[in-house]
Amino acid sequence: MRRQQTIAGPAVCAGIGVHSGSHVRMVLSPAPVDTGIVFVRTDVRGVVDNAIRAHADSVSETRNCTTLANKAGVEIATVEHLMSACAGLGVDNMIVEVDGPEVPILDGSSAPFVQVLLNAGLKEQHAPQRYIRILEAIEVRMGSKSAALLPSDAFEGLDLDVTIRFADAAIGVQRRTVQLSADTFLADIADARTFGFMSDVDAMRAAGLGRGASMDNTLVVDSGRVMNPEGLRFDDEFVRHKLLDAVGDLSLAGAPICGRFVADQPGHALNARLVRALLDTPEAWRWEHGEAEETLREVAPALVAAVG
Residue among 102, 148, 131, 122 nearest 278 (CA): 148
Q: Is residue 268 flagged as an active site residue?
A: yes
SS3 for the chain, per residue? Answer: CCEEEEECCCEEEEEECCCCCCEEEEEEEECCCCCCEEEEECCCCCCCCCEEECCHHHEEECCCCCEEECCCCCEEECCHHHHHHHHHHCCCCEEEEECCCECCCCCCCCHHHHHHHHHHCEEEEEEECEEEEECCCEEEEECCEEEEEECCCCCCCEEEEEEEECCCCCCCEEEEEEECCHHHHHHHHCCCCCEEEHHHHHHHHHCCCCCCCCCCCCEEEECCEECCCCCCCCCCHHHHHHHHHHHHHHHHHCCCEEEEEEEECCCHHHHHHHHHHHHCCHHHEEEEECCCCCCHHHHHHHHHHHCC
One of 126, 241, 268, 289 is an active-site residue; which one? 268
Give catalytic residues, as residue numbers. 268
